[in-house]
Structure 1
Amino acid sequence: MPLMLKMIDLFGSIRSLFKVHRIAEDSMIFRLHYRATVAVLLAGCLTLACKSISGSPIHCEGTGSVDKAVLETFCWLHTTYSMVRAFNLSLGQAVPYPGLSNSKGDGVHGHAPHPLVKQHKYYQWVIFLLLLQAIFFYTPRWLWKGWEGGKIHALMMDLDIGLCSEVEKKQKKKMLLDYLWENLCYHNWWAYKYYLCEVLALLNVIGQIFLMNRFFDGAFLTFGIDVLKFLESDQEDRVDPMIYVFPRMTKCTFYKFGVSGEVERHDAVCILPLNVVNEKIYVFLWFWFLVLGVLTFFTILYRIIIIFSPRTRVYLLRLRFRLVRRDAVETIVRRSKVGDWFLLYMLGVNLDTVIYRDVMHELANRLATRAGVKGELQEA
């Protein structure tokens, strides 16, 4: 009972990742990395942990002279294997299951490296791999949270609600405007830190794909493509590609001393029920990582365009905040840097729209006055 309560608490913590936060400090694509992806990875990790706790992760059947518990423990610790040549033989006639065939007479010793043997070593480490992946996906967020330093939250001053007295609202708007005026052109490094976190998020997705490809002996890169081809073809004529990576039934060889002191070989057939869950998790992750990688790549291109194109910055501010006059936006963008644009954009996402409009117009007036431009912008 205490264990089940702990599991419920863990699933509750995963649910908190989907909680809508009041303050947005980053982009939606960036949140997909440290919220949605981390939640999926932790959910898979906890699902496998619960299934392992509630039932045996492996079931082996051997000769009667070997204790079943000893055999299953040995096969779980020392891995299982499949015969490579047995994957393409006729099921139910030549072999009982893809990958299972007689290994005697080929010099195969079960757990030793051999060209005819495909060893399955990963299943002990899947839970730890998922946990490690979740940590990697949260790392860019952890870095940005430290580098951001609560700047956006501090500058908001509860102006996102807008339900305060006029005197208090005027004071807070003046404080925000004074900060923006005095620190204009000093936010580039702050913004570049966030862009760096987005680059790290993209590199992390690419690295995770190659990590899993290494983890699954080079079978992960084309895994999703093979699954789609299998679903589109006549499935009776082809072996499910998931069986190559996540076999449900494998072989195990156990050696022990016999009565006469000779070494006896005992072949066992093992069922891996966890692989039914593993394959579903990693099929989803293959497609999810592909989509996430593409979206993040285009986000990086979008950031590059923003850095080198002031006109794009003007267009994006006008598109997102229509209450702000165009001439005010052009004045601010022309006399500030990309870091200031990023801060103003994030403030606009979080602040009350009317208050944000007033701050932008007053900031544009100050900039125009300093530049010697006659006439001030009128509030809409």
Structure 2
Amino acid sequence: MDGLFRGLSKLIKITPVTNDDIVFRLHRQLTVLILFAFSIIVTARQYIGDPIDCLPKSEISSDLLDTYCWIHTTFSIESAWNKTIGTEVPYPGIDNSRGSDRVHHYYYQWVCFFLFIQALLFYLPRFLWKSFENHRLSSIVMDLHSPILSHDERSRQIKIFINYFIAHLGYNGIFTFQYYFCQILCFANVVGQWNEPE
């Protein structure tokens, strides 16, 4: 099971130069990590257990019947939701299926795929920002994050940084627009994926 989640550790990297804010990092790291982990858990049938168990009444093998039940979805009986549990029905929504008031439930077949797609959509703003930024801030900061830098060398590099900043003031409008575009994309992503239960 440890091998399944080892690849997810690459999503959380601590870098000496941070080129985004905490909300962006939570969006691209924590949310993506959780969604990928849940997608793996849902699809890891051999570690978690059978996703569905059908009760065979004949000589059909249980693996074959489970696969059939998985492919053909499950359903509940609308009129069985309000019956007395234990006397009329064994469980809410479960009853004799001769009636025509079946409600089919297809969601469980697609959960792992939707979790994976959601994780990709949450990672998309980070992917765009990495391509826009292209290590620009790391090269500007140079070695200022190095703990063994002498005080004189640090002062010299800070002066170079200040001179660069003053010389290029007003030239980074597109860069700023790209950052805000990725932030808006993060917000639109959260709002777009927010579903109210019916």
> Given the two structures, how large is their TM-score scaled by the length of structure 1?
0.48
Which residue, 15, 33, 53 being the options, matches 2:46? 53
CA shift digits 1:335-372 (9 cap, x unpaired): xxxxxxxxxxxxxxxxxxxxxxxxxxxxxxxxxxxxxx
SS at match of 1:119: strand
Distance 1:163 1:47 in 2: 44
Distance 1:146 1:131 in 2: 22
CA shift digits 1:124-150 (9 cap, x unpaired): 221111111110000001101111121
Distance 1:144 1:204 in 2: 15
Q: Which AA in structure 1 matches 2:65?
A: L
Q: CA 1:59/1:167 → structure 2, altered by over 3 Å: closer, same or farther? A: same
Distance 1:83 1:25 in 2: 54
Distance 1:83 1:95 in 2: 11
CA shift digits 1:319-342 (9 cap, x unpaired): xxxxxxxxxxxxxxxxxxxxxxxx
Matched, 1:157 2:142: yes
Which residue, 57, 82, 92 being the options, matches 2:76? 82
CA shift digits 1:101-137 (9 cap, x unpaired): 1121x3x4xxxxxxx2221112122111111111000
SS at match of 2:85: coil
Which residue, 9, 12, 17 being the options, matches 2:11? 17
Corresponding residue for residue 27 of structure 1: 21
Which residue, 55, 58, 64 being the options, matches 2:58? 64
Q: Please say if residues 162 and 169 of structure 1, whose CA atoms lie closer than 8 Å, have aligned partners that are also in contact.
A: no
Corresponding residue for residue 191 of structure 2: 206
Q: CA 1:168/1:90 → structure 2, altered by over 3 Å: closer, same or farther? A: same
- Percent of aligned pairs with the same amino acid: 36
Gaps of 5+ in 1: 1-6, 109-115, 211-220, 224-380
Corresponding residue for residue 124 of structure 1: 109
Corresponding residue for residue 295 of structure 1: none
Q: Please say if residues 30 and 198 of structure 1, whose CA atoms lie closer than 8 Å, have aligned partners that are also in contact.
A: yes
Larger radius of gyration: 1
Corresponding residue for residue 310 of structure 1: none
Q: Please say if residues 39 and 115 of structure 2, whose CA atoms lie closer than 8 Å, have aligned partners that are also in contact.
A: yes
Matched, 1:95 2:89: yes
CA shift digits 1:1-25 (9 cap, x unpaired): xxxxxx5344123234344332211
> Following TM superposition, by how much is the alpha carbon of 1:87 offset from its aligned partner in structure 2, in angstroms?
1.6
Matched, 1:192 2:177: yes
> Following TM superposition, by how much is the alpha carbon of 1:67 offset from its aligned partner in structure 2, in angstroms?
4.2
CA shift digits 1:192-214 (9 cap, x unpaired): 2111111111111122124xxxx
Q: Which AA in structure 1 matches 2:46?
A: I
CA shift digits 1:201-254 (9 cap, x unpaired): 1111122124xxxxxxxxxx147xxxxxxxxxxxxxxxxxxxxxxxxxxxxxxx
Distance 2:159 2:3 in 1: 44
> Following TM superposition, by how much is the alpha carbon of 1:60 offset from its aligned partner in structure 2, in angstroms?
0.8
Gaps of 5+ in 2: none
> Following TM superposition, by how much is the alpha carbon of 1:91 offset from its aligned partner in structure 2, in angstroms?
1.1
